Structure 1
Amino acid sequence: MTHLPPLNALRAFEAAVRLGGFARAAAELNVSTSAVSHQIRALEELLGARLLERSTGVGGIRVTPAGARLLPAVSEALSRLGEACADIRGTAKRLTVSANAPFSSMWLARRLAEFSSLHPDTPLNAVVVDNEPDFARHDIDLAIVHVPQQRLAPDDDVLLRESVFPVCSPELYPFASRAVCRCRLLQEAHENSPEIDWHSWTAQFGLPDDFETKIVRYSSFSQVIGAAVGGAGIALGRVPLIEPELSSGRLVPLFPGLSRAASWRFVLRRNPAERHRLLEALITYLHEEANVPPRTEFIAAQPTKRRTMADDAPA
């Protein structure tokens, strides 16, 4: 233990790497930039190895092989120290998770509440971030990011793959299943996702040349599904996000068995500087939840009953 470096030097090293420079580390640690530089230089002399090098790239520093070897141990040790101190003070560190708005409200929110009930001693925080998060700025431990399939990295931790198919309310189903071309079409605004663009389904449903006038566009998927549940038209639903609507019967597949694979994936991204004690447990829990099959097989058998009820109502 007598050969361990000073804690302040280790904190300076970790902060400089995580934040990408001495000045940013100094601001976080509330010391001068020269103090950070001095602490890291003293740490390098104590270890007999260069940990950081000046770089002309973004951030101004580059981690050496020795620094890359030291960093995970320092990050984990500082995180465990922080958690232990928080436990003693009775202020356990929050576990913060981010996701975009549709995924957060339609799939993640309920599951985070259930996970919290299993770990009531740890505060859980969910934030909405539509794009890649700034982990340090938002203090995020785990991000769930919507990534195009072509941009997936080999080591990406994929949580969910989606399927897309037309859905509508049970009240609209009798008419919609017979005359798609006469119905209002609900569409989410999203780039590089042909499967959720009604134009890519033109041949499938024999839509007329002027069907563009029947499309209502929304800025979010939640709006699309809200309109579909209200009977406003036919939506291109994304499973498993709409699994609750399918399970409850608020939405039904227009043509059971017809679906397309989505071109985006939901990917888990860990904060490289944080190791919350419950992070791995949460990741395991989310993967288990993602592997539960959607109940579309059960719902696909329901439109016959609902169709009879709807047929009795005025057109």
Structure 2
Amino acid sequence: MPRPPASCSAAMRSRATRSPSSSSELRAGLLQHELAGRLRRLGRGGRRIRVARQGPDDREGNADRARHGAGALLQIDGFHGIAPCQIISFNREHPRPLALGQRRYLFASLVSYTHKRMTTRLPPLTTLRAFEAAARLGNFSRAAEEISVTHSAISHQVRALERSLGTALFHRNGRRVTLTDAGRHFADRVGSALREIGEAAYLIRRSDRDKNVLTITTLPSFAARWLLPRLGRFMERHPKIDVNLHTSLGLVDLERDGVDLAIRFGTGEWPGLEAVKFLDDELFPVASPRYNRGRLPARPAELAKFRLMRSDDEFWAPWFRAARVKIDEPHSLVFNDSALLLQAAVEGRGIALARRSIAEDDLRAGRLVRVFDISAPARGANYLAWPKGKLSPNAALLRDWLLQERDLRPS
């Protein structure tokens, strides 16, 4: 490695004795040393590189005239922390000032190298993703739901990014957040960059070698209780299509994860997606016909005497209102997966509050029975969704087949 010039070494020695706040100056000195070594390597093969000292009033043109035959001196003071005393020059075997194009080439090499050094200081990508979602949605809770993390995780990621950048990106007023001026500017650039990355990933996933792969995503409960018993018929009809089934309790970013079609439960409104209603839904109590030796409650008011079960996103209160009984929300056995809830009911563990869409096959097979002929509306419906304007041919085949299957087997 080339030795640093005397002026640079002296500068580093003097800066090393200063307060800790001068560590950035020390790093700048080390960067100067590395740049000098890089430029010396550029000078191999007939060129000679040297690092010289520049006077405080020198400019590029003045240096050319004052040091004729010694090469052109580049004025780089204040450029990304490089001290004004450090300038770069070189000459050929027959010394003469460099032409403007040659000086620009050297300066471009310097800029490129310094830029590469700076790009290693990118903020953590997880913080950028959390910030972009929060900035776009204007709400930490909605951002947390979109990328399947907690509200606290979004808050911590945004604060970590703000510490990394050294500036506030949001104004915080209780639960309400708004972007600062710096935050708005940064959000535009980060959002654009992440969209470009997503589009590039989408194009790669849609390459010729993947044209016969169909990726779908849905809740584990819907996959287990409704989709899988039927999906085999689609695969028999389209044997050349490889189906990749992805299950998740959280919302999946369809473009980022290369998903062709999603079966989602909700309102049908998701940013960047097109959706068509697939199955309406409703809630009602179900139990195994063998539960409690077949002695099931005769009236809704008697439910309070039995072991009740539910999923973590559905409550008994709406059904109690529909049944016109005054029962407080019970301390139920709660499941985060509705498929496990129904399996517990099939095994006689209790009475479950079930959605029709995932209970209908068990009802038809006699593994479960409805306890009362009373239903409450669900909080949403089942939708087929795909990236806006990007419905692949295979996804269109599956969408149309699912709609036909729904009509053949009404819920």
Compute the TM-score of the two structures, normalised by the length of structure 2.
Answer: 0.46
Conserved 8 A contact 1:181-1:206 = no
Q: Number of residue pairs matched?
A: 218
Report the equivalent of 1:21.
none
Matches for 1:55-204 after TM superposition, within 5 Å: 56=188, 58-60=190-192, 82-83=207-208, 86=209, 93-148=212-267, 151=269, 156-172=275-291, 174-178=294-298, 179-190=302-313, 196-202=314-320, 204=323
**In the superposition, relative to structure 1, how do residues 255 and 58 fare at CA in structure 2: closer, same or farther (>3 Å)?**
same
Residue type at the aligned position of 1:159: F
Residue type at the aligned position of 1:59: G
Cα RMSD for the two superposed structures: 3.7
The answer on 1:219 being equivalent to 2:219 is no
**In the superposition, relative to structure 1, how do residues 219 and 129 fare at CA in structure 2: closer, same or farther (>3 Å)?**
closer
The structure having more radius of gyration, on CA atoms, is 2
Q: CA deviation at 1:136?
A: 3.5
Q: CA deviation at 1:156?
A: 3.2
Conserved 8 A contact 2:319-2:376 = no
Q: Which 4+ runs in 1 deviate beyond 6 A?
A: 152-155
Conserved 8 A contact 1:131-1:146 = no
Conserved 8 A contact 1:94-1:122 = yes
Q: CA deviation at 1:99?
A: 0.7
Provide the rounded CA distance (Å) in 2 between the counterparts of 1:293 and 1:115. Answer: 15
Secondary structure of residue in 1 paired with 2:382: strand
- 1:111-148 deviation digits (Å, cap 9, x = unpaired): 22221111111211101133332223322111112214
Q: Which runs of 5+ in 1 are unaligned?
A: 1-54, 64-77, 191-195, 296-315
The answer on 1:268 being equivalent to 2:384 is yes
Residue type at the aligned position of 1:121: K
Report the equivalent of 1:35.
none
Secondary structure of residue in 1 paired with 2:249: coil
Residue type at the aligned position of 1:140: V
Report the equivalent of 2:38.
none
Q: Which runs of 5+ in 2 are unaligned?
A: 1-186, 196-202
Conserved 8 A contact 1:183-1:233 = yes
Report the equivalent of 1:244.
361
Residue type at the aligned position of 2:379: S
- 1:207-262 deviation digits (Å, cap 9, x = unpaired): 656x734x211122112111111111111121121111001101001113x11221
Q: Report which stretch shifted further, 239-248 or 274-283.
A: 274-283
Compute the TM-score of the two structures, normalised by the length of structure 1.
Answer: 0.59
Report the equivalent of 1:28.
none
Report the equivalent of 1:233.
350
Conserved 8 A contact 1:92-1:121 = no
Residue type at the aligned position of 2:355: R
Higher relative contact order (CA 8 A, sep 6+): 1
Provide the rounded CA distance (Å) in 2 between the counterparts of 1:168 and 1:113. Answer: 28
